[in-house]
Amino acid sequence: MEKKAQQEMVGFVLIVVLVVIGMMVFLILSIRDKPSEVNNVEVDNLLNSVMKYTTECATSFEPDYDNFEDLFKSCYKNDQCDNLKKGACDYLEESLGDVMQDLLKSEADVEYYSFEFFVREDGGNEGILEIDGGNCSSKNILGSQKSLISGGTSLVVRMELCNS
Protein backbone atom coordinates (compact mmCIF):
# COMPACT_ATOMS: atom_id res chain seq x y z
CA MET A 1 0.00 0.00 0.00
CA GLU A 2 2.84 2.38 0.88
CA LYS A 3 4.66 1.85 -2.47
CA LYS A 4 1.47 2.59 -4.40
CA ALA A 5 1.14 5.95 -2.64
CA GLN A 6 4.77 6.80 -3.44
CA GLN A 7 4.21 5.93 -7.12
CA GLU A 8 1.14 8.15 -7.24
CA MET A 9 3.07 11.04 -5.69
CA VAL A 10 5.93 10.62 -8.20
CA GLY A 11 3.38 10.52 -11.05
CA PHE A 12 1.68 13.66 -9.74
CA VAL A 13 5.02 15.51 -9.46
CA LEU A 14 5.93 14.48 -13.03
CA ILE A 15 2.61 15.78 -14.35
CA VAL A 16 3.09 19.09 -12.52
CA VAL A 17 6.64 19.43 -13.89
CA LEU A 18 5.45 18.74 -17.45
CA VAL A 19 2.63 21.29 -17.14
CA VAL A 20 5.06 23.93 -15.80
CA ILE A 21 7.51 23.27 -18.66
CA GLY A 22 4.67 23.50 -21.19
CA MET A 23 3.52 26.80 -19.70
CA MET A 24 7.08 28.18 -19.81
CA VAL A 25 7.43 27.23 -23.51
CA PHE A 26 4.08 28.89 -24.28
CA LEU A 27 5.10 32.01 -22.35
CA ILE A 28 8.46 32.25 -24.15
CA LEU A 29 6.80 31.87 -27.55
CA SER A 30 4.17 34.49 -26.78
CA ILE A 31 6.72 37.02 -25.45
CA ARG A 32 9.23 36.52 -28.29
CA ASP A 33 9.65 39.49 -30.63
CA LYS A 34 7.00 39.58 -33.27
CA PRO A 35 8.06 40.52 -36.80
CA SER A 36 8.02 44.25 -37.31
CA GLU A 37 4.97 45.81 -38.82
CA VAL A 38 5.89 47.02 -42.26
CA ASN A 39 4.34 50.40 -42.90
CA ASN A 40 5.01 50.53 -46.60
CA VAL A 41 5.66 47.72 -49.08
CA GLU A 42 7.72 49.87 -51.48
CA VAL A 43 10.03 51.07 -48.70
CA ASP A 44 10.34 47.51 -47.41
CA ASN A 45 11.33 46.29 -50.90
CA LEU A 46 13.85 49.12 -51.23
CA LEU A 47 15.32 48.38 -47.79
CA ASN A 48 15.68 44.69 -48.65
CA SER A 49 17.37 45.61 -51.94
CA VAL A 50 19.76 48.01 -50.24
CA MET A 51 20.65 45.38 -47.62
CA LYS A 52 21.70 42.93 -50.39
CA TYR A 53 23.84 45.52 -52.24
CA THR A 54 27.48 44.36 -52.29
CA THR A 55 30.00 46.91 -51.03
CA GLU A 56 33.76 47.19 -51.54
CA CYS A 57 34.45 46.31 -47.89
CA ALA A 58 35.99 42.93 -47.09
CA THR A 59 36.15 42.33 -43.33
CA SER A 60 37.67 38.87 -43.63
CA PHE A 61 39.45 38.49 -46.99
CA GLU A 62 39.20 39.61 -50.59
CA PRO A 63 37.07 38.90 -52.65
CA ASP A 64 34.60 38.13 -49.83
CA TYR A 65 32.97 41.55 -49.96
CA ASP A 66 30.24 42.37 -47.45
CA ASN A 67 26.77 43.43 -48.46
CA PHE A 68 25.13 46.18 -46.40
CA GLU A 69 23.44 43.64 -44.11
CA ASP A 70 26.82 42.10 -43.25
CA LEU A 71 28.33 45.57 -42.97
CA PHE A 72 25.74 46.58 -40.33
CA LYS A 73 26.68 43.47 -38.32
CA SER A 74 30.40 44.24 -38.77
CA CYS A 75 29.77 47.81 -37.62
CA TYR A 76 28.10 46.49 -34.46
CA LYS A 77 31.15 44.30 -33.78
CA ASN A 78 33.54 47.22 -34.50
CA ASP A 79 35.22 45.26 -37.31
CA GLN A 80 37.52 46.81 -39.89
CA CYS A 81 37.39 46.73 -43.69
CA ASP A 82 40.77 45.04 -44.05
CA ASN A 83 41.14 45.86 -47.73
CA LEU A 84 40.24 49.55 -47.27
CA LYS A 85 41.96 50.15 -43.91
CA LYS A 86 38.74 51.76 -42.57
CA GLY A 87 36.36 50.98 -39.78
CA ALA A 88 33.18 49.19 -40.87
CA CYS A 89 30.98 51.93 -39.36
CA ASP A 90 32.90 54.69 -41.16
CA TYR A 91 32.69 52.89 -44.48
CA LEU A 92 29.02 52.02 -43.88
CA GLU A 93 28.12 55.65 -43.28
CA GLU A 94 30.06 56.81 -46.33
CA SER A 95 28.91 54.16 -48.82
CA LEU A 96 25.27 54.02 -47.69
CA GLY A 97 25.11 57.80 -48.01
CA ASP A 98 26.48 57.56 -51.56
CA VAL A 99 23.97 54.87 -52.56
CA MET A 100 21.08 56.86 -51.11
CA GLN A 101 22.25 60.10 -52.77
CA ASP A 102 22.18 58.25 -56.11
CA LEU A 103 18.68 57.06 -55.26
CA LEU A 104 17.58 60.63 -54.53
CA LYS A 105 18.83 61.66 -57.97
CA SER A 106 17.03 58.82 -59.76
CA GLU A 107 13.75 58.95 -57.82
CA ALA A 108 12.15 62.35 -58.39
CA ASP A 109 9.52 61.96 -55.67
CA VAL A 110 11.96 60.99 -52.86
CA GLU A 111 13.24 64.11 -51.08
CA TYR A 112 14.72 62.74 -47.86
CA TYR A 113 16.01 59.47 -46.43
CA SER A 114 16.97 58.35 -42.97
CA PHE A 115 18.55 55.18 -41.58
CA GLU A 116 18.58 54.36 -37.89
CA PHE A 117 20.71 51.46 -36.68
CA PHE A 118 20.20 50.37 -33.10
CA VAL A 119 20.25 47.48 -30.64
CA ARG A 120 16.81 46.38 -29.48
CA GLU A 121 16.82 46.00 -25.70
CA ASP A 122 14.13 45.40 -23.08
CA GLY A 123 14.54 48.83 -21.50
CA GLY A 124 14.74 50.73 -24.79
CA ASN A 125 16.86 51.03 -27.88
CA GLU A 126 20.58 51.79 -27.89
CA GLY A 127 21.45 53.83 -30.99
CA ILE A 128 24.56 52.89 -32.95
CA LEU A 129 24.39 54.90 -36.16
CA GLU A 130 22.12 57.44 -37.87
CA ILE A 131 22.45 58.39 -41.52
CA ASP A 132 20.21 60.88 -43.29
CA GLY A 133 20.17 63.18 -46.26
CA GLY A 134 17.98 65.56 -48.20
CA ASN A 135 15.21 67.84 -46.99
CA CYS A 136 11.64 66.81 -46.22
CA SER A 137 9.14 69.51 -47.19
CA SER A 138 6.02 67.35 -46.83
CA LYS A 139 4.62 65.23 -44.03
CA ASN A 140 4.45 62.13 -46.24
CA ILE A 141 7.02 59.94 -44.46
CA LEU A 142 7.01 56.22 -45.19
CA GLY A 143 9.11 53.67 -43.35
CA SER A 144 10.14 50.10 -42.85
CA GLN A 145 12.55 48.22 -40.62
CA LYS A 146 14.54 45.01 -40.73
CA SER A 147 15.69 42.94 -37.79
CA LEU A 148 19.16 41.40 -37.81
CA ILE A 149 20.72 38.95 -35.38
CA SER A 150 24.43 39.19 -34.56
CA GLY A 151 25.84 36.90 -31.91
CA GLY A 152 22.50 36.58 -30.14
CA THR A 153 21.92 40.34 -30.12
CA SER A 154 18.84 41.75 -31.83
CA LEU A 155 19.77 44.63 -34.15
CA VAL A 156 17.33 46.80 -36.08
CA VAL A 157 17.80 48.88 -39.22
CA ARG A 158 14.98 51.36 -39.77
CA MET A 159 14.60 53.26 -43.05
CA GLU A 160 12.34 56.24 -43.64
CA LEU A 161 11.69 58.10 -46.89
CA CYS A 162 9.95 61.41 -47.40
CA ASN A 163 8.00 61.72 -50.65
CA SER A 164 6.91 64.98 -52.24
> Domains of the chain: which residue ranges?
1-32, 36-163
Using the predicted structure, report yes or no on whether residue 120 has a pLDDT greater than 90: no
36-163: what CATH class? alpha beta
Higher per-residue confidence, 105 vs 39: 105
The mean pLDDT of the chain is: 84
Say yes or no to pLDDT of 77 above 50.
Answer: yes
Residues 69 and 148: beta-carbon distance below 8 Å: yes
Cα separation of 116 and 156, whole Å?
Answer: 8
pLDDT at 164 over 50: yes
Confidence grade of residue 39 (pLDDT, cut at 50, 70, 90): low
Phi, psi (5° rounding) for residue 46?
Answer: -65, -45
DSSP state of 67: B
The CA distance from 59 to 109, in Å, is 35
pLDDT of 37 higher than 50: no
**5/59 Cα distance (integer angstroms):** 65
Contact (Cβ atoms closer than 8 angstroms) between residue 163 and residue 113: no
